[in-house]
Amino acid sequence: MRFFRKKKPVPDGVFIKCDGCGKMVYRKNTEERLWVCPECNYHFRISAADRVRLHLDDDTFREIDSGMTSNDPLRFVSGESYAEKLTTDCEKTGLKEAVCCGEGRIGGEDVVFAAMDFRFRGGSMGCAVGEKLTRAAELAASKETPLITISSSGGARMQEGALSLMQMAKTCAALQKLHTLRIPYLSVMTHPTTGGVTASWASMGDIIMAEPGAMIGFAGRRVIEQTVKEELPDGFQTAEFLLQHGFLDMIVERKNLTSTLSSVLAYLRH
């Protein structure tokens, strides 16, 4: 497969260790399977650029707001300053923020597309990420094209404090407008999608999909167990558990995701 030749989210080498089963697996074999473990079907995290290459029709993507970045509103410092961390992540990923948004086509259908990149501050949502997603939703509304988001996030960005939390309300308000206009919004949750991202736009999809085995939740297991003073069932934050309990509409293997998005879009158009 030619999608994943440019940027590699996992270290170089002939073998890589699978985070799912712990086995050493052939890198090339895993890459050919779109970064899915040949032994246990673990879906490795992939970059926003990989998502664009994988899901959108060739050469149709036009990025918007690519220069938008956090302006560190709280001048936050804890050890290394937040500003320094942002610079490091920019250099590491070539991105200015943890989400990449734009217009493109899936199966010939116009869409507005947003994919998060976990390598940038753990895919966390600060003011810039919230603003980019809001603008993506507004663009979808103005063009009357469906919106598709691919989430992968550690939640709200603590270095921007309450301003991060406000992004939850802002993104949801923009999505509500889409809903009023009856424009489809498809949300795909990938491993992991947690915190304020799960608690806002990622859970607002008209259809909510997830990749197999994805960890999806709000607070972590330990925090919940300490709060409710109860032991939680095994796998309670996996995509499979959430599907069973009605939080998800479907679980889709990565190799089938593009065609599934395309057929759902075609279905909704009619």
Q: Which residues contact 58 (CB under 8 A, 6 or more apart)?
A: none
Residue 21 touches Zn ion, criterion: CB under 5 A: yes
Site for Zn ion contains 40 (CB under 5 A): yes
Report, in Å, the least distance between residue 37 CB and Zn ion: 3
Buried b (16+ CB within 10 A) or exposed e, 37-49: beeebbbbbbbbb
Q: Name every residue whose Cβ is closer than 8 Å to that of residue 160 and which is 6 or more positions away in sequence.
A: 70, 72, 73, 74, 76, 126, 127
Number of residues that bind Zn ion (CB under 5 A): 7
Q: In the structure encoding, which two tokens stand for residue 73, read together?
A: 């509103």
What residues are paired with 26 via a beta bridge?
Answer: 15
Name residue 208's beta-bridge partners.
187
For the chain, what is the radius of gyration of the CA atoms? 18
268 binds Zn ion per the rule CB under 5 A: no
Q: Which residue in 58, 33, 35, 59 sits closest to 47, CA to CA?
A: 35
Closest residue by Cα to residue 138 from 204, 197, 105, 185: 185
Region binding Zn ion by CB under 5 A among candidate stretches 14-22, 54-62, 82-90, 125-133 = 14-22
161 binds Zn ion per the rule CB under 5 A: no
Does position 250 interact with Zn ion (CB under 5 A)? The reply is: no
Q: Which is nearer to Zn ion, 39 or 109 (CB)?
A: 39
Is 34 a binder of Zn ion (CB under 5 A)?
no
Classify 92 as helix, strand or coil. helix
Which CB, 138 or 253, lies closer to Zn ion? 253
Which of 4, 16, 18, 139 binds Zn ion (CB under 5 A)? It is 18
Site stretch for Zn ion (CB under 5 A), options 35-43, 80-88, 120-128, 184-192: 35-43
Q: Find the binder of Zn ion among 36, 37, 99, 115 (CB under 5 A).
A: 37
Identify whether the C-beta of residue 113 lies closer than 8 Å to the C-beta of residue 102: yes
We find the least distance from the C-beta atom of residue 193 to Zn ion, in angstroms, to be 20
Contact residue for Zn ion among 9, 20, 107, 161 (CB under 5 A): 20
Under the rule (CB under 5 A), what is the footprint of Zn ion? 18, 20-21, 37, 39-40, 42
